[in-house]
Homo-oligomer: A and B are copies of this chain.
Amino acid sequence: RMITQVLIGILSGAAILTAGILIGHYGISQSSSGAPPSWLKDVAKDVDESLIEKFLSEVDNIQIQENLRELTKVPHMATTAGDEQTVQFMLKRWQDPETGLDQAWREEYMVYLSFPDPKNPNKVTVVSPSDTVLHTAREKEKSYTPDQDDPEVVQPYAAYSPAGHAKGKLVYANQGKPSDYQLLNQTIDLRGTVAITRYGGAGRAAKAINAAPYGVLGVLVYTDPLDINDGLMSDIDETYPHSWYLPPSGVERGSFNTHYGDLLTPYLAAKEETYRIPAENITGIPHIPIQPIGFEDAYTLICELGEEAAPAAWQGAFNCTYNFGGPGFKSTSYFNNRTPVLLKKGERDVKLDIFNHEEVKNSSNVMGVIRGSVEPDRYVIYGNHRDSWVHGAIDPSSGTSVMLELTRVLGSLVQQGKWRPRRSMIFGSWGAEEFGLIGSAEYTEQYFAKLSERTVAYVNVDIAVFANATLRASGMPSVQNILFAAAKQVDAPGLDSTSVYDNWVRYANRTSPALGIIPRVGYLSGAGSDYAAFVHYLGITSMDISYTYDRTKTNARIYPAYHTAYDTFDYASRFIDPGFVSHQAIARTAGNVLIRLADSLVLPLNCSDYAEILEDYLGTAMTLYEHQLRARNISMGKDIMQVNVFIPAPPLSLHRSCLRPLKVRRINDQLMLLDRAFLDPLAFPDKHAYRHVIWASSDAGKPTFPGLADAFATAESSGQSRHWDKVHYHLSVLSQAIEGAAHTLVDVI
């Protein structure tokens, strides 16, 4: 009878559904018609709560710490010797006969990467008209621990920035958004200039792509102390090694491309013989050089800029006014002291000499599995990337350390014969994520059919711990209740008798019409980590889990050492998570989620939570668009009101018969495949591998259906009827997807 309630809850969207029901034992009684065959017991088995307790108790913070120490010994940028060392380490651990998985192996792809030239480092200089160098930006970050002296620390660079030379007057372009360049161009003729921008507000590649149409020749990017350090700047007492804040010479590296996956083999797994598009046909990468620098150098450049002051919103934390620049540095500039000749305004250029080169290299995913006992053909996938920019203690090794601890505990249970999940668990240690989620994307391309057909869910734990305050989770709405159930069973780090859930709901909450005040679960609408290919390309129900900041205590856009040479074991263990208790909490929460997904008789995916968010999206769309659409004779009403179909009228009347394995399987298939029904490979022709019409990325920045929002924004700004047609088209795409998904949830025939 309990299971009846569960199913009604899942499929009918009954408001009273709580996580408690989902995690309860179902009190399965034996069939009345005689002793069933032995396998029948296994088939009807549900999540074993005592197994979860055992798992939680065995997750060890010190093991995680030691995993991290091992993983961060050397820099392990994708395809380097350090990366290979981590491949070997993962394989050794997953193939361990006592604590390993059933099987582990590597899978290789030949992928297109971009590197600086160690023998010819990228240079950023200020030069006089006679090319006298007046200032040279740092080529490497300042050393505070031996880690920064490792010769394998890669020079800060913008991966996929073209090689080339750019020289011009410097201008300050804020965050490099289209609106920033537009505004700046109203004051200054941008042709022939070099723009300096700060991180944030726009994607990395976009800062250069947006600049090029204005005739900008090159772009610099830096992290403003306002955005990362809560304004602090001094390495004498304020920044690392004194705190978690970024030292003045720290530089955020990154991949400057727009599309995820290998850039030469779109939609095809990058095998040796795979067809590769000509490099000149790659879209979404800069066509002018771009280079990141530290705020120490940015300070020198920006504070010397002359001309009009930039708007208040453009000002950062430097103790000077951020001017537009353009015609040149101030006449009283510091650079004037560096040359015997008196330079006039406009006579000092900033020069970029970029020597990046692209290379097709062999990148590995490390894969491991625990075979399912009852439904081996159903996969719960858990993954994180393995490659870092430098030592990558937090990004990604915090997540990898957690994954290794989780597989150690589960692997031990399996190897000791104490447990085997109902469904198969697949673990992925992805390669070359930093270059654009490449390893996971190639994996989804290679195994598209198999993964589409069989994957129940994907769990991503990349940066496991940004900070020590609270859980953060994003995912499809249907996983909310699993996250809640798991978080309720884990103690919050550093707090007595408070669960991760209770702590979470204090930091980030919302009011659900059905459930009241609950933690706020985010959406996976972007491509910030390896969930992207699972969500957007495969349409697999996914989630991303981490521990994160107290936003009342910091405004840092991300943890300050992100993608710098300071993201080390020392940094992680002293400033991010001393004692590794937050890592432990993530391992427990994510592992609990994983076990529930793998062992639950009925998949704990909740359609009514999905419907709640869709209704929310619909409400927003009605408010924002209905009036204008009606004026143009485009009806929204019948079109996407289909959201309601998500709550099928008659609750399924399931009695003991629901124990029939094929009936349970049928319901599970409906739940597993729900997100697949939202895929439309033709909906977003300009967005590579975005097919999920609900969670696709959007430029409009509205909390509603992305294709509709973007089409509306374009139509509203252009006023062209073909753009209004596109709005209508996206309404139809959406309507068909939602109606199609609803059709998969109502009675099967």
Q: Is A552 an interface residue (CB 8 A)?
A: no
Q: How far is the CA of A267 from the CA of B693 in the complex (A)?
A: 15
When the two chains form their complex, are residues B635 and A273 in contact, meaning their CB atoms are under 8 A apart?
yes
Q: Tell me whether B660 and A662 are in contact (CB under 8 A).
A: no
A638 interfacial by beta-carbon distance below 8 Å: yes
Map CB proximity to B onto A35-46 as digits: 1 under 8 Å, 0 otherwise: 111111001000
In Å, the complex CA distance between A216 and B274 comes to 44
A729 CB–B CB distance under 8 Å: yes
**For A449, what are the chain B residues with a Cβ–Cβ distance below 8 Å?**
673, 676-677, 740-741, 743-744
In the complex, what distance in Å separates the CA atom of A680 from the CA atom of B537?
13
Q: How far is the CB of A533 from chain B (nearest CB, A)?
A: 15
For the complex formed, measure the closest distance between the CB of A280 and the CB atoms of chain B, giving whole angstroms.
12
Chain A, interface size category, equals 35 or more
Query: When each residue 712-749 of chain A gets 1 if its CB lies under 8 Å from chain B and 0 otherwise, what string results?
Result: 00000000000001001101110110011101100011
A736 engages B454 (CB within 8 Å): no
CA gap between A292 and B661 in the complex, in Å: 59
B371 touches A749 (CB 8 A): yes
Cβ-based interface call for A369 (8 A): yes
Docked Cα-Cα span, A728 to B638, in Å, equals 46
**CB-defined contacts of A447 to chain B, threshold 8 Å:** 740, 743
- The quantity of this chain's copies bound in the complex is 2
Instruction: Encode contact with B along A2-43: 1 for CB under 8 Å, 0 otherwise.
Output: 000000000000000000000000000001111111111001
A732 in contact with B666 given A34-B36, A35-B33, A426-B749 (CB within 8 Å): no
| B660 close to A445 (CB less than 8 A) | no
Partner of A736, one of B375, B446, B450, B665: B446
The interface residues of chain B lying within 8 Å CB-to-CB of A38 are: 33
Given A39-B657, A274-B732, A372-B749, is A673 in contact with B445 using a C-beta cutoff of 8 Å?
A: no
A448 to B740, CA, bound (A): 7
Q: Is the beta-carbon distance between A37 and B34 smaller than 8 angstroms?
A: yes
A35, A449, A741 interface centre (most CB from chain B within 10 Å): A449
Judge if A223 is at the interface, Cβ distance under 8 Å: no
A622 → chain B, closest Cβ, in Å? 15
Q: A513: shortest Cβ distance to chain B, in Å?
A: 27
**Given contact pairs A34-B37, A275-B725, A43 touches B662 in the complex (Cβ within 8 A):** yes
Expressed in whole angstroms, the Cα–Cα distance for A201 and B728 within the complex equals 40
In the complex, chain B residues whose CB is within 8 Å of the CB of A735: 273-274
Indicate if A376 sits at the interface (CB-CB under 8 A): yes
Whether the Cβ atoms of A375 and B662 lie closer than 8 Å is yes
A377: Cβ under 8 A from any B Cβ: yes
In the bound complex, CA of A369 to CA of B267 (Å): 38
Which of B677, B682, B743, B749 is within 8 Å of A379, CB to CB?
Answer: B749
Distance of A504 from chain B, by nearest CB (Å): 33
Kindly list chain B residues whose C-beta atoms are within 8 Å of the C-beta of A744: 449-450, 453
Q: Chain B residues near A369 (CB, 8 Å)?
A: 749
The answer to whether A39 touches B660, judged by C-beta atoms less than 8 angstroms apart, is yes
Could you tell me if A376 and B275 are in contact, using CB atoms closer than 8 angstroms? no
CA A278 to CA B726, docked complex, whole Å = 12
A268 to B369, CA, bound (A): 39
- Chain A 648-681, CB-CB to B under 8 Å as 1, else 0, gives 0000000001001110011001100100110011
| Cβ of A285 under 8 Å from chain B | no
Say yes or no for A374: interface residue by CB 8 A criterion: yes
Say whether A152 faces chain B, with CB atoms less than 8 Å apart.
no
Q: Which of A557-572 contact B (CB under 8 A)?
A: none
User: Which B residues touch A740, using CB under 8 A?
Assistant: 446-450
Could you jot down 28 A-B contacts, CB within 8 Å?
Answer: A32-B37, A36-B37, A43-B660, A267-B680, A268-B733, A273-B638, A275-B732, A278-B725, A369-B749, A371-B749, A372-B749, A374-B662, A377-B666, A377-B669, A377-B670, A377-B749, A379-B749, A424-B749, A446-B739, A448-B736, A449-B744, A450-B744, A453-B669, A453-B744, A660-B661, A661-B661, A662-B665, A681-B681
Further contacts, 7 of them, CB under 8 A, given A275-B728, A449-B673: A34-B37, A273-B638, A369-B749, A424-B749, A449-B740, A449-B743, A662-B662
